[in-house]
Amino acid sequence: MPTRPGSSSAFDFSGHVRADDVVTWPQGTGEPLGLTGRLVEQRHALPPLELFVGMLSSKTLKPEHADRFRFRGLNGAGNTRTLTAANVLDIVPAYVSAVPALIRSHAIRVDVVLLRVRPHPKPGFYTVGVMADFIPAMVAAARCVIAEIDERLPITSQDALVAAEDIDVLTECDAAEILLPDPQPTDTDMRVATNVAALIPDGATIQIGVGGLPVAVCRALDRHKDLGVHSGIISDAVVDLVEKGVVTNARKGIDAGRTVTGGLFGSRRLMDFADGNDAVEMRSSEYTHSQQVLARVQKLYAINSGLEVDLTGNVNTEVAGGRYLGAIGGQLDFVRGAFASPGGRAIIALASTTPDGKHSRIVASLEGRPVSTSRADVDIIVTEYGVADLRGRSFSERAQRLRAIAHPDFRDRL
């Protein structure tokens, strides 16, 4: 396998990309900053390229880079919002569970993949460490895989492994890494989380995202027993639950004793926790979001959020204020997976108003904004004002229950 001398931030892309190639890399903490930064620097010396991105946690890409790049992506979350705000990111609507198959079938083209890797103790393999979600599909579909060696990555296995023979070019990383410490939850987050935690029984397996509200939920679960974790992403908050003995993964039904995730979105603490830890399984979204897998998990409690919910139960996770801020993502995968799981429930948790308090997030109608999770799929809605169980409820019953958990200032107009 060829190893190109020098650092990733001095790498020459000219011999490896072709006109109109689609270049991609892992989202979030998986971005190889040396390579992506160099790609941006060299853009005027390269043929026109398309960049296909997930959630960006760096500031590598800016709207002005559309002078040479076409941008396509899966969501408008994180720093990807700078591209959507400038209307230069073309969104591909897709459930997380569908993305690998779309890549493997070339419905979503992938020509060049950029990775961060670390040599793995298993001979002939490297680990991508922090992100496994779409990696196997990307590597299988790409014509060229370029990787920067980064010894700061945790040693993880399963779907985070890439065969050495699948890497075409190796460089040495000399750039920063992306670390994402948990944000501090707000008082409202904690009130919502208290209501969520009251719904979750001991022995349940939770799916949870990242951000202030998920952190608050984890903190509110700190007196629970024998919880399991099966999630697309985990953060530092999960480490707290493991270290307190709350998460044991003992009663999951599958993957006993193991926290299953597709990505690590956290600080150095989370990376050190996962490093060489056999109790952490890094799995691609072909596993984490699979309906067949989720149906085997016992008491799966899927905990997700949204930008707004209408009075029939439709959830919008994508658009607010005329801007694409979120994603279709994996919410519906886990909502339906929780329904299929023995004893499972699906919770949509959100604050009752926007952060400035000016707008209710329980609305009469979505008025043409996206229905990301339909009312026929929605199970439980939770705000800081209570719980609305919508299972088997009629339109009038749903409206009554959702008004009851809206902010008091907006109930009359609803």
Q: What are phi and psi of 233, to 5 degrees?
A: -145, 145
- Is 187-410 assigned to CATH 3.60.15.10? no
Are the folds of 3-172 and 187-410 the same?
yes
pLDDT tens digits, 71-103:
999 999 899 999 999 999 999 999 999 999 999
pTM of the model: 0.96
- Is 3-172 assigned to CATH 3.40.1080.10? yes
The pLDDT score that the predictor gives to residue 397 is 98
The pLDDT score that the predictor gives to residue 6 is 77
Tell me the H-state helices in 135-289: 135-141, 187-197, 212-220, 236-243, 268-274, 285-288
Q: Report, as ranges of residue numbers, the positions in the chain whose pLDDT lies below 50.
A: 1-2
How far the first Cα of the chain sits from its last, in Å, is: 64
The pLDDT score that the predictor gives to residue 207 is 98
Write out the two tokens for 254: 């599958």
The pLDDT score that the predictor gives to residue 243 is 97
Q: Domain extents for the chain?
A: 3-172, 187-410
Distance CA 302, CA 206 (A): 6
The pLDDT score that the predictor gives to residue 108 is 97
The pLDDT score that the predictor gives to residue 4 is 55
Are 206 and 225 in contact by the 8 Å Cβ rule? The answer is no
